[in-house]
Amino acid sequence: MATPSHRRSLRTRRSIVVTAASVVAGVGAGFLVLNANAAGTSVDLAHQTLAAKDGWASSGAGTTGGAKADAAHTFTVSTRAQLVKALGSASDTTPRIVRIKGTIDANTDDSGKKLSCATYSAGTGYALAAYLKAFDPATYGTSKLPSGKQETARAAAQAKQAKNIVFRVPANTTVVGVPGTHAGITGGTLQIQSVDNVIVRNLTFAATQDCFPQWDPTDGDSGNWNSQYDAVTLRGATHVWADHNTFTDAPGLDTADPTYYGRQYQIHDGDLDITKGSDLVTVERNQFTNHDKTMLIGASDSDSVGKLRVSIHHNVWKGIVQRAPLARIGQIHLYNNFYDTTGLNGYVLQYSVNSRAKAQVVAEDNYWRTPAGQKTSKLFSGDGTGSIAGGGNLVNGTATDLVAAYNAAHSKKLKTTVNWTPTLTAGLETSAKNLPTELATTTGAGVLN
């Protein structure tokens, strides 16, 4: 078997702080504490800010996104062109709120016309058949990356697609789905790069696809096709809160992808990747489903030491192959998540959590549902340098030492101690037993109103 690639290729009661001005017209500065999920309570999702002590993103000044946006910087959008205009310049730090109403197809032009992979490759000289002929390992070899006319053309076509589907989010921004509208982005990617204070919530990210994956014969034992474009990508971003989103490959599942050079022609990259020194991130109450390489924390073993601090809690992972997450270097708190590792639509588990490159993971009070015959030793993974501490994790309702199970079956052992103690733990439930039922109806896009 080929070596897998590790490259970057409601709770029912929760206090939320919003500006009083967003609730009572004419009232000056100040704050009002609302219970976001209490029965009969309706609040403005766009003005909610991350609660105190709710994970790493609450550290320091916390995460407020665009809560202070004025009327001139508050937008409701329903097309790709409107979204681009509302986001404005990635260097503009003026607080802004972008409400997405309905589903935006990123692969459209400014008039709304549908664009295809052929549209992006037109005029570049790229052709898949020619690319496959040029870099066939039998003639090109397996020791170097592709270079030459077809690789240059492939990169040019990929750049054309990126120009259309990558949405750059500026600092102090909230991007939120309008309740009841099936809000989301299809085929696109939110890029949160070198900015601070961003909130992304109540959105479905579907079918983010790279038309032009690159062949890398040096990746793994047998080479790999590597794509660009995460649904949401953080690069050097700080204070980011991702809440109540849904991530899925559907309708473009991996089972529909062809095989070239004996390897899957992978058109999907990550769902939510946190790399390049990103820091102070909270990922909560999302659903991740029908995906392979789901969440990467740290792009390489030389990513930024002292950063990559991420809290991941109350999420559902179902039909996920790997990277839930794969963590490098940072301090990651993983609690009260529900993993259903039953194979789904061709997505079959390799592992759930991977700690490598001296990552310091605390995994506590999570719940795994596994099918008959699946080995508990497959739930964790590592390279012999990463740590996973914590306890209270359940497998099919039974308390299980997942690190011990992994270490008993592998020569490269996970370490069992970490160099930090989580303190930003709002909402931590000390028992995982009810998570499968609780999180079924309180996670993902569409449950907030």
Q: Which residues belong to the active site?
A: 323
* Pairing of β 263-264 and β 259-260: antiparallel
Residue 76: both structure tokens together: 């409701």
Closest to 409 (Cα-Cα) out of 366, 367, 377, 372: 377
Give the largest Cα separation in the chain, rounded.
72
Name the residue type at position 436: P
CA distance 354 to 6: 10
β partners of residue 216: 224
CA distances from 119 to 158, 298, 302 (A): 11, 33, 37
